[in-house]
Amino acid sequence: MSLAALYIRTDPHGGLPSREQQRASDIAYASRHGHEIAVEYEDLEAPGQFLYHKPALKEAINNIKEHEDWEVLIVADPLCISDDASALHELVHKFSLYGNRLEGPGHGWDDLLARMKSYRREMSRR
């Protein structure tokens, strides 16, 4: 059993699932995959673009660098991290450096990692 953290972000425009929907989805995912939830992070009504405009996500990132109490961040949908592909790929890259993962219903770590690597290759060609 691995330790996991949940991350929930709602947006001011209601474009993301509700807090309750995300939490239920994340808990069900954790249960199905044998993750023990160690901590929960929430950025309610947070805008979607930049990672560092989300205090709870910033705390989660700092914790993997300093405390590393958990190895998997469970997120209902990658859009809950950011609606900007560059920001999402930045987080996936950070997690890969620290040996952590980002997972959730409908998106596995391997898929997010492959998309991040493809994005970085594409950006390096420009």
108: exposed, middle or buried (C-beta count within 10 Å: 0-12, 13-18, 19+)? middle
pTM above 0.75, yes or no: yes
Nearest to 22 by CA among 40, 4, 34: 40
Give the domain 2-125 fold: Rossmann fold (3.40.50)
What would the pLDDT profile of 54-92 be if each residue is shown by its tens digit? 999 999 988 887 776 889 999 999 999 988 888 889 899
Residue 38 confidence (pLDDT): 93
Domain boundaries, the chain: 2-125
